[in-house]
Amino acid sequence: MAKLRAGVIGVGHLGQHHARLYASSPDTTLVGVMDQDGARASAIAEKFGTQAFRGLPELLKQVEVVSIAVPTSGHYAVARACLEAQKHVLVEKPIAVSPNEAQDLVGLAGRHGCTLQVGHSERFNPIMPLMRPHIHTPMLFECHRLGTYSERGTDVDVVLDLMIHDIDLLLSCNPGPVEAVLATGETLLSPTNDVVNARIRFKDGCVAQLTASRISPKAMRQWRVFQPDGCVTIDFQSRQGVVGRRSVAADGKPRITMEEIQAGAAEPLKLQLESFLHAVRVRSRPVVSGEDGAAAVALAHRVLSAMKMPE
Domain boundaries, the chain: 4-121+268-288, 123-265+299-308
pTM (2 d.p.): 0.94
How much is the average pLDDT of 77-85?
98
Q: What is the pLDDT of residue 309?
A: 61
The 10s digit of each residue's pLDDT in 122-149 is 999 999 999 999 999 999 999 999 999 8
4-121+268-288, CATH topology level: Rossmann fold (3.40.50)
**Average pLDDT, integer, range 163-177:** 97
Residue 17 has pLDDT above 50, yes or no: yes
pLDDT of 184 higher than 70 = yes
> Residue 209 above 90 pLDDT?
yes
Residue 310 pLDDT: 52
Kindly tell me if the per-residue pLDDT of 151 is higher than 80. Answer: no
Contact between 303 and 160 under an 8 Å Cβ cutoff? The reply is: no
Average pLDDT, the chain: 95
Query: Per-residue confidence at 4, pLDDT binned at 50, 70, 90?
Result: very high
Indicate the pLDDT class of residue 191, thresholds 50, 70 and 90.
Answer: confident
**pLDDT digits 0-9 by tens, 237-283:** 999 999 999 888 888 788 889 999 999 999 999 999 999 999 999 99
Nearby residues of 49 by Cβ (< 8 Å), 6 or more positions away: 23, 30
Question: Which pLDDT band holds residue 93 (cuts at 50, 70, 90)?
Answer: very high
CATH number of 123-265+299-308: 3.30.360.10
pLDDT surpasses 70 at 311: no
Distance CA 76, CA 68 (A): 10
